[in-house]
Amino acid sequence: MEALKHTPLTAKHIALGAKMASFAGYNMPIVYTNIKDEHEAVRSNVGVFDVSHMGEFIVRGKEAAKLVQKVTSNDVNKLEIGDAQYSCLPNNEGGIVDDLLVYRLPEDYCSEGEQAFMLVVNASNIQKDWDWIASHNDFDTAMIDISSKTGLLAVQGPNAAKAMQSLTSVDLENMKYYTFEKGTFGGVENVLISATGYTGSGGFELYVAEDKLEQIWEAIFEAGQAMDIQAVGLGARDTLRLEMGYCLYGNDIDDTTSPLEAGLGWITKLKNEDDFVSKDYFIAQKAEGLKKRLVAFELEDRRVPRQGYEIEDMEGNVIGNVTSGTQSPSLDKPIGMGYVATGFHKTGTEINIAIRKKKYKATVVKAPFYKG
């Protein structure tokens, strides 16, 4: 059995009393105190996640944009330097290799006449994604895997800018959503500060050299001490993203699900002149009509839906499966997502969730569950 990998902050997490567990091959903090309190800290104040297990690739060269455009579904050509973009890597069968963030990097990452991008991918898919992108790289473009050299913290919540502003001259309060700047942060140079996140409560992600991650972590907690800044584990990260209806790879999207089926048509640019993997498949799929849709639903009972539970119509016919579910800390009710046959995806449709031979009534709702 392969040994678990560690982030540079593993000792910090253990010292804070975190419950550690294996996640994507890493020994990661799942919860420090309890999920509900950590969830609420992010929704109402500010919390810090160690997400250094994520993967980062640099793609640079004269034809870097062509490679990224070929393998991703969104329109890379819209990105200016300092912009970030959510996208996915389609496979040849119309499924999803992974979802990812694409950053258009400053000129200091490349030579004259070149462009550079950073692709941020899921930890469980680092090697798979690298191999997939490399298999399409017949362009004048170099790929560099910086995953093992890069630390990543997500500082999330409505008070994130206020808690961290003393650490940098970058204007955090006025940084636009899905943009980034490079600057000195907490005494560390060349930190990439990104106004992105996976919680729906605002905040920032900080990319830093791995050997400087502990310094950044300590600076954040010292600066945020007066605001009761909290360390937050991956348990609350999951409840936060699910309340927003954000997809989790391996649950809600995978190699067998189309981005159109997953409600990700907004990142699947079919009208672009540029070609990308499975573009023709998606055009045909849209024209023929989708057979299944990813929906959000709320349960009337207190039972929590889990991945794999069957979804039935009111006559008892199986129409799909649950992909994610939890007890929403913000709403104090069970919520979930899952794929259902087209026709049962409309808001207000009543469905049943089969849990241990019993059926629990649920209603299809429009995501996000949490409105802020």
Query: Is residue 197 a part of any domain in this protein?
Result: yes
Same domain, 44 and 154: yes
Q: How far apart are CA 199 and CA 197, in angstroms?
A: 6
Band of pLDDT at residue 1, cut at 50, 70 and 90: low
> What would the pLDDT profile of 296-306 be if each residue is shown by its tens digit?
999 999 999 99
Regarding whether 298 and 359 lie in a shared domain, the answer is yes
Whether residues 165 and 236 share a domain: the answer is yes
Cα 352 off chain centre by: 28
Phi/psi at 106 (nearest 5 deg)? -65, 170
283 pLDDT above the threshold of 90: yes
CA atoms within 13 Å, Cβ hemisphere of 130: 16
Q: What pLDDT does residue 64 have? A: 97
Same domain? 197 vs 324: no
106 inside domain: no
Domain boundary among 182, 210, 243: 243
Decide if 116 is inside a domain: no
Among residues 206, 226, 243, which one ends one of the domains? 243
For residues 361-371, average pLDDT: 97
Residue 108 or 177, more confident: 177
Using the structure block, give the residue that is written with the tokens 């997400």: 51
Q: Which of 159, 200, 209 is nearest to 182 (CA)?
A: 209
Q: Per the domain annotation, does 28 fall within a domain?
A: yes
Strand spans (E) along 210-306: 230-231, 292-299
Q: Are residues 205 and 329 in the same domain?
A: no
CATH code of the domain in which 323 resides: 2.40.30.110
Q: List pLDDT tens digits, range 32-43.
A: 999 999 999 999
Query: How high does pLDDT run on average in the chain?
Result: 97
Residue 232 shares a structural domain with residue 298: no
DSSP, collapsed to helix, strand or coil, labels residue 220 as: helix
Q: Give the Cα separation of 23 and 49 in Å (integer).
A: 14
> How many Å apart are CA 336 and CA 320, to the nearest integer?
13
Does residue 3 lie within any of the structural domains? no
Together in a domain, 219 and 354: no
Chain centroid to CA 240: 11
The tally of domains found in the chain comes to 2
Residues 304 and 221 in one domain: no
Query: Looking at residues 191-216, what average pLDDT do you find?
Result: 98
Q: Show Cβ contacts of residue 268 under 8 Å, excluding neighbours closer than 6 positions.
A: 73, 74, 88, 90, 259, 260, 282
Does residue 319 lie in a domain region?
Answer: yes
Q: Which residues in 94-117 are b (16+ Cβ under 10 Å) and which e?
A: bbbbbbbbbbbbeeebbeeebbbb
pLDDT at residue 2 is higher than 80: no
Separation CA 134–CA 132 (nearest Å): 5
Based on the fold, state whether residues 31 and 179 are members of the same structural domain: yes
End-to-end CA distance of the chain: 43
By residue range, what is the domain housing residue 297? Answer: 291-365
> Does residue 116 sit in helix, strand or coil?
strand
- Give the integer Cα–Cα distance in Å for 370 and 365: 11
pTM, 2 dp = 0.97
Give the β-pairing of 150-156 and 47-50.
antiparallel
Query: What CATH number has the domain bearing residue 226?
Result: 3.30.1360.120
Res 164: pLDDT = 98
Report yes or no on 265 lying in a domain. no
And the tokens for 334?
Answer: 């069970």
For residue 310 the two structure tokens come to 């069957």
Q: Return left, alpha or beta for 10; rule: phi > 0 is left, psi -120 to 50 is alpha, else beta.
A: alpha
pLDDT at 330 over 70: yes
Contact in structure between 324 and 337 (CB atoms under 8 Å): yes
pLDDT per residue as tens digits for the range 239-259: 999 999 999 999 999 999 999
Residue whose pair of structure tokens reads 């496979």 in the numeric block? 91
Residues 327 and 195 in one domain: no
In this structure, the answer to whether residues 300 and 238 fall within a common structural domain is no
Which residue, of 211, 243, 275, is where some domain finishes? 243
Nearest one of 213, 179, 174, 212 to 193, comparing CA atoms:
179
Asked if residue 25 and residue 158 are part of one domain, the reply reads: yes
3-state secondary structure of 299: strand
Residue 282 falls inside a structural domain = no
Residue 136's CB is within 10 A of a number of other CB atoms, namely 14
Q: Running DSSP on this structure, what letter comes out for residue 77?
A: G
